[in-house]
Amino acid sequence: QVQLVQSGAEVKLPGSSVKVSCTASGGGPFSGHTIAWVRQAPGQGLEWMGRIVPVVGVTDYAQKFQDRVTITADSSTRTAYMEVSGLRSEETAVYYCAKVGPAYTLSDWGQGTTVIVSS
C-alpha cells in the first residue's frame, strides 16, 4: 500500500496557475508507480485528468485537459505534480492524486487538495 500526501489548499485568481504536489511513501520504488490526477468539482462526480508513469516519464491526459494541465514527477523526492494554468472559476474543485494499479484500479488516494478560483 502507498501513502499519498498532497499539498495544502490554494486560493487563486482567475487566469493564474496552481501546482499541486503528491508525495508517496511506502509501496516500493516510486518510479514503478503510475500516478493519476482526478478532479471533483462541488456537487459533481469524479473526473480523470491524466496520469504519469515516472519510470519512463510518460504522461497522457484526458482531452479536455490537454492544453492547460501539466503532470510531472520527481522520483528523487517521490513526488508527482499537477499544474493547471489559466484557471477558471469553474475549476474550483478538490484535486486528488491516486495510484493506478492493475486494470486501472485506483487503489490508494491522496487526501485531496482544495483549489478555489475566485476574484
Could you tell me which stretch among 12-20, 23-31, 78-86, 102-110 binds another protein (CB under 8 A)? 102-110
- The contact pattern for another protein, residues 43-62, with x = CB under 8 A and - = no contact, is --xxxx-----------x-x
Give the C-alpha separation, 87 to 19, whole Å.
11
Candidate segments 23-31, 71-79, 81-89, 104-112, binder of another protein by CB under 8 A: 104-112
Q: Taking CB under 8 A as the rule, does residue 110 contact another protein?
A: yes
Q: Candidates 11-19, 22-30, 39-47, 76-84: pick the segment binding another protein (CB under 8 A).
A: 39-47
C-alpha span between 56 and 9 (Å, rounded)? 30
- The number of angstroms, rounded, from the C-alpha of 80 to the middle of its chain's C-alpha atoms is 7
Out of 53, 106, 114, 116, the residue judged to bind another protein by CB under 8 A: 106
- As given in the structure block, the three cell numbers for residue 9 are 489548499
DSSP 1-70: --EEEE---EEE-TT--EEEEEEEESSS-GGG-EEEEEEE-TT--EEEEEEEETTTTEEEE-GGGTTTEE
Site of interaction with another protein (CB under 8 A): 36, 38, 45-48, 60, 62-63, 96, 98, 100-107, 109-112
